[in-house]
Amino acid sequence: MHLLLLNGPNLNLLGQREPGLYGATSLAAIEADLVARAAALGAELTCFQSNHEGALLDRIHATQAALPGARVEGILINAGAYTHTSVALRDALLAVAIPFVELHLSNVHAREPFRHHSFLADKAVGVVSGFGPASYRLALEGLLAHLGALADGS
Ligand code: CA2
């Protein structure tokens, strides 16, 4: 089972700025924790972060390459601000037709109205928002439960 974790703009700053809002844990620490948790659950997780919309699209497209290890069965995505703006990201995720979970560190519904809309949420398996770094773990568990249920035919 291969999974992909995507992080969007500014999430490389985690742990360095605004700890009151986004926590004190770095993205590298979140990624390392999630890779280990995924391995313990029998999945191989690849991580990718970019501040550029096109780079995120290219990484999603790369899951379709005919290279060993390119294909992934599921995607975890914290698209950051692109969640609320990017039709292109929505189209890329729909084009590859890989089940994905949208996640956020903060509770976007407790924040400004412009964060209440997501261009991804209605196409996601599910959305996790508001649990800080634990959102990543909960999203991983949810995605694996979904993929496991698909494999079982239930
Ligand atoms: O809560 C989340 O995970 C968000 O995806 C974070 C985005 C925000 O635009 C979304 O509405 C919700 C912002 C990421 C900014 O990341 C920073 C990390 C540390 C310091 C400053 C920004």
Q: Is the dihedral of CA 72, 77, 79, 83 positive or negative?
A: positive
* 2 is known as an active-site residue: no
Residue among 7, 16, 22, 101 whose CB has most ligand 1 atoms within 8 A, to mutate: 22
Per DSSP, which regions of 99-147 are E strands?
A: 100-104, 126-129
Alpha carbon distance 133, 83 (integer Å): 18
pLDDT number for residue 69: 86
Alpha carbon distance 7, 76 (integer Å): 9
pLDDT number for residue 92: 98
Alpha carbon distance 111, 13 (integer Å): 20
Spell out the residues 6+ positions from residue 93 whose beta carbon is closer than 8 angstroms to its own: 60, 75, 77, 100, 120, 123
Burial zone of 74 (CB within 10 Å; 0-12 exposed, 13-18 middle, 19+ buried) = buried
* 104 is known as an active-site residue: yes
Residues with CB under 6 A from ligand 1: 10-11, 13-14, 17-18, 22, 78, 80-81, 83, 104-106, 108, 115
Per-residue pLDDT tens digits of the chain, which is 154 residues long = 999 999 999 999 999 988 888 989 999 999 999 999 999 999 999 999 999 999 999 999 999 999 988 899 999 999 999 999 999 999 999 999 999 999 999 999 999 999 999 999 999 999 999 999 999 999 999 999 999 976 887 6
pLDDT number for residue 24: 92
pLDDT number for residue 154: 65
